[in-house]
Amino acid sequence: MKNRLLVLAAVIIAANCTFAKELAPPKSPEADTTKPGLVKIAGNATMDSPAFQYLTELSDEVGARVTGSPEAQKAVDWSVAKMKSIGLQNVHTEKWNLWKGWTRGTAEAVMLAPLHRPLAISAMGWTGSTPAGGVDADIAVANLFDLEAELRNASKFRGKIVYVVAQGKPRQNFWTVFGNYASFLRQLHAAGAIAVIGGDFGFKPEGMHLTHTGILGFNVDEEIPVVSTTREDGGQIDRFLAEGKNVRLHVNIQNKFTNGPIESANVVGEITGREHPEQVVVIGGHLDSWDLSEGTTDNGVGVACALAAADAIVKSGVRPRRTMRFVLWTGEEQGFGGSLAYMKRHASEIKDHVAAVVLDNGQGPVKEFQLGGRDDLIPAFDPFADSLENIREIKVTAEMELESDTAPFILAGLPGINLAQDPAEYKFTHHSEADALEAVKPDVLTQDATIMALTAYWIADRPERFASPWPAERTARMLRETGQFEKLNAFGLWTFGNLGQSPQ
């Protein structure tokens, strides 16, 4: 009996210790011993930051960086050189193949009736061409919100320039409509349509006299030429159509595809952990961009912040408990090609990954730490966020960014931490002619790079591991409960099958 009582007492004590540990308040950086390192990093990051210099070089010496292009390879070479000059370890590239390469060519449009005037257009990425020299054709309207009905009489689009509008209320979830758009374009091409003005999916582009480019699906290309036009030119076309006037255009769109896959590469460099080198915290942004301007805000800013964060940590002389892996991905704009390739290449290591910290929301100041659906991590993260109050107040949420390189990490059950930024001007600059260095304020860039450095180091240096991957069932359930199924399914990224469904 005495032995049984001793065993029972030991069990109760252990349970109480576990319960007390669970109830113990999360530690601040001062209490968890990370503060001295954070202070050193903050000093270097704020007083000796190369962030704006990096961004200037990337914008002016490299320029636009479409995945698979010679300019993208130049960016890869530039990034390797920068990581080595910073003093990162194990600097290397990790190659992967894009399904097809694409090069932008001519995009010209002239309104022939009811007025004669030039129009501003830009081709969407991975879309095709008109016959050489261009064609003259009338506009025919198609409603994005009723694509099924539009295709019942697809012959009406033969020989026409299809003008996509968003009228009325959608009959389906928007992400389902998005997922069906590529199929709609292929059927228009089969029906003999000449071209499509629908790069903004029937919505009006942001900004004054700006076009916006982009891809029209994940890992898809379209033979039919698809363009965007400006808010102003689109507005005039809308008015003419509303008045019942025939609108006739001349369009000449010339783009080129490669015949097959084309090589790309991610760039990787590390600071090896001193106690748990096998545990990895990823810090990164995407190196590729679109090509209407310099690719500065999308995502040169993220690249500059990641490199400047590495620079500040190396200069400080501190070494984290866990490995910090800095990764610059390519192929983000074509459907996370680089970050998905990273996850595939490092599949056996994902169990040892702790988190990914990504900046890809433009040029504004960081305003929110989005923990990628991991609401269980908010209590541990809050004290760190509070410690940054002298820099700025940043809230902590479980929100997730599934339209950037955080997504593959979230799908793997990890905290894909998005450093969400003030989006005020980003909606104008991204994918547009305004995506240039002039849109970035050096002081805001330095602050964002500092926050990125401190966040990543704090996660990497905590005595306790910050996070481990959730099992697939729990991840799938979280994604379904937060309404992400339709989006991920439209992107072709839902790999969980029936996991996470509520019992009937």
Write down the domain spans for the chain.
Answer: 35-100+261-470, 102-257
Predicted pLDDT at 504: 63
Could you tell me which residues come within 8 angstroms of residue 101 by beta carbon, excluding any fewer than 6 positions away? Answer: 68, 69, 257, 258, 262
- What fold, for 102-257? Glucose Oxidase; domain 1 (3.50.30)
Q: Are 291 and 430 in contact (CB under 8 A)?
A: no
Predicted pLDDT at 175: 86
Among 228, 251, 250, residue whose Cα is nearest residue 123: 228
| CATH code reported for the domain at 35-100+261-470 | 3.40.630.10
What is the spatial distance between Cα 336 and Cα 329, in angstroms, rounded to a whole number? 8
Predicted pLDDT at 288: 98
Q: How, if at all, do strands 89-98 and 262-271 pair?
A: antiparallel
Please give the C-alpha separations between residue 25 and each of 379, 467, 496, in angstroms, as whole numbers.
Answer: 8, 17, 35
| Ordered mean pLDDT values, 10 residues apiece, the chain (504 residues) | 38 38 68 95 97 98 98 98 98 98 98 98 98 98 93 95 93 85 95 96 92 93 97 98 98 97 98 98 98 98 98 98 98 97 98 98 98 98 97 97 97 98 96 98 98 98 98 98 94 94 79
* The model's pTM: 0.94
